[in-house]
Amino acid sequence: MRKTLVSGILVCMAAALAPAQQAHIKIDTDRTIGEVDPLIFGNFAEHLGRCIYGGLYEPGSPLADAEGYRKDVMEAIHGLGVTMLRWPGGNFASGYNWKDGIGPKKDRPVRPEGAWGSLEPNQFGTDEFLKYCERVGVTPYVCINAGLGTVEEARQWVEYTNESRDTYWAQQRRKNGRQEPYKVKYWGLGNEIDGPWQLGHKSAEDYVKFALEAAKAMRRADDSIKLIASGSSNFRPGSNWIQWNQTVLEGLKSEIDYISLHTYIGNSKNNLEQFLAASQDIDQRIAVVEGLIRAAQASMERPRPIYIAYDEWNVWYRARGESEFETGKTRLEEIYNFEDALAMGMFLNSFIRHANVVKMANLAQVVNVIAPIFTNEKGLFLQPIYFPLAEYAKQRGNVAIDALIVSPTYRVGAREPIPYLDSSVTLDKKGGYLYVNVLNKSEKLDIAARIENITGTLGASIDVWQMDYPDLKATHTFGADKKVRPSTKTIVGSGNKLNYTFPKHSLTILRAKVS
């Protein structure tokens, strides 16, 4: 029987398993990958469309509190299990002057912004964002302007948010009503600077020169901060994304804590299995960047730990203008369906399988704009993608387990075979629970699997969470968001083995007590 290693998962060729369509998931809890970092359940709020204004923030609305924050959205974010919020962009960050968004609101300028072709009223700025993070209980992640901005503006921003002494920008913060520092820990050194669509687009060499000086200046304002370099987001034909990341890592390896990756996928060809085959790209990009990190650190006697921040990811392909960045036309209000919910499991399984190096991830975005939450002036509804995100978030802090997955496979083009069962496994050591996350990518095949825990027994009662809906294109809307929702049940386990059939095009999470 020929076997192929795909991103650390052992997969049997489909020909060897057909026609029975059987699978095997073999778990050894001693084979750990790393902690499932809570920050992989982060999100993103950009000044784009109705994400901020009309989403997070809507002063005067009966649904908002005294500070203008939408209470229903805050409740939905809490239910989503969000751990981190990235702001203010995104493309918006590359033209944003943070000083426009502080001080008395009546004095803040209205400016045209060059990323999305709209007017920015600057009513939601640094203080509003950081207070929002405190209210919702999430970690803030601020992205500096590495496009049209300056090193000094970046340094001053850190001083404004984090300085405790009696300095000029700390005084300005106090004048604006905040006595104590916000202590913002995570700072992005720009967004997608490799992309020619970006304001202030730079070559890798020019970006490194800027980012190195910005990092130096920002750390002198607060040496406890963590910095995220702008990794490649340009995977278009003719681009050399590997070379960009290699240059950035070589130039910034002594200063950065993370390098970013961005991936958006879509099902424009209306082919579910091809759509979910994007897992190959996600796994490959993570593996390549992990190798580049190791290569950059190879000559260092005491290398600084560097991880991957997958700080933009989602399904996005319907809500675009004629051109992706055509100003004034795109508002990115994607309406998600059941097959998009399945893709959430695909992304998160990959992040968990690479838990040793993927230590941050941010779904783009949190509300209205390619988002799991959708509002109008009267309320909101939860899109189908909301539910997998919320359920996976319960595994934060668990240990990722390197499980052996033997599954029927399929091919897309000439690439390596892809397992129909896309899986990840985590262990909650404190609670003693094992989680088996399984996405069945097959459009037509139910797949029976034998699940075996070779390092202990499974509890007699096993919880099953499952999204299994016959209509792949089913969506939600206002007043009708109960249709594409998960079901739960309990099944009986016995010893260290369990047989379970994963329905076609379904996402399942099994939770079992282990001893």
- Residue 291 reports pLDDT greater than 60: yes
Asked whether residue 60 falls in the same domain as residue 171, the answer is: yes
Same-domain check for residues 258 and 301: yes
Q: How far apart (Å, rounded) are the C-alpha atoms in residues 145 and 94?
A: 5
What are 175-217's pLDDT values in tens digits? 999 999 999 999 999 999 999 999 999 999 999 999 999 999 9
Both 230 and 284 in a single domain?
yes
CATH of the domain at 275: 3.20.20.80
Query: Buried b / exposed e across 327-358, counting CB within 10 Å, b at 16+?
Result: eeebbbebebbbbbbbbbbbbbbbbbbbbebb
> Quick one: tokens of 265?
């996928």
Q: Among 396, 425, 453, where does a domain finish?
A: 396
Q: What angle do CA 16, 470, 352 make, to 5 degrees?
A: 60
Name the active-site residue from 46, 159, 312, 391. 312
SS3 state of residue 349 = helix
Distance between CA 19 and CA 155 in Å, rounded?
62
**What tokens does 389 get?**
């995100």
333 has catalytic annotation: no
- Residue 322 clears pLDDT 60, i.e. is over it: no
Same domain flag for 43 and 169: yes
> What residues make up the domain containing 452?
3-35+400-514
Q: List, in sequence order, every residue forming a beta bridge with 119; answer none if it has no partner.
A: 112
- Whether residue 393 contacts residue 362, with contact meaning beta carbons closer than 8 Å, is answered with no
> How many domains does the chain contain in total?
2
Answer yes or no: do 483 and 503 share one domain.
yes
Question: How do residues 405-452 score in pLDDT, each as one tens digit?
Answer: 999 999 999 999 999 999 999 999 999 999 999 999 999 999 999 999
323 pLDDT more than 80? no
The DSSP bridge pattern shows strands 358-364 and 42-44 to be: parallel
Which element (helix H / strand E) includes 454?
A: none
Residues 6+ apart with CB under 8 A from 165: none
The CATH number of the domain holding residue 441 is: 2.60.40.1180
6 pLDDT more than 50? no
Predicted confidence (pLDDT) at residue 332 exceeds the cutoff of 60: yes
The CA-to-CA distance between both ends of the chain, in Å, stands at: 33
- Give residue-wise pLDDT tens across range 444-487: 999 999 999 999 899 889 999 999 999 999 999 999 999 999 99
Of 375, 396, 417, the one marking the end of a domain is 396
Q: Which has the closest alpha carbon to 267: 334, 352, 328, 365?
A: 334
Distance CA 473, CA 486 (A): 16
Query: pTM higher than 0.85 for the full model?
Result: yes
Mean of pLDDT values over 307-324: 85
Phi, psi of 129 (to 5 degrees): -65, -50
The average pLDDT across 138-152 equals 98
Q: Catalytic: which of 120, 163, 192, 334?
A: 192
Same domain, 69 and 144: yes
Judge whether residue 4 has pLDDT over 90.
Answer: no
Alpha carbon distance 51, 48 (integer Å): 6
Length in residues, the chain: 515
Report residue 155 as tokens: 């340094």
Pair 482, 356 in one domain = no
Is 192 tagged catalytic?
yes
Evaluate if residue 15 carries a pLDDT over 80: no
Q: Smallest Cα–Cα separation from 452: which of 75, 46, 40, 23?
A: 23
Residues 376, 418 within the same domain: no
What confidence score (pLDDT) does residue 321 get?
A: 60
Shared domain for 279 and 208, answered yes or no, is yes
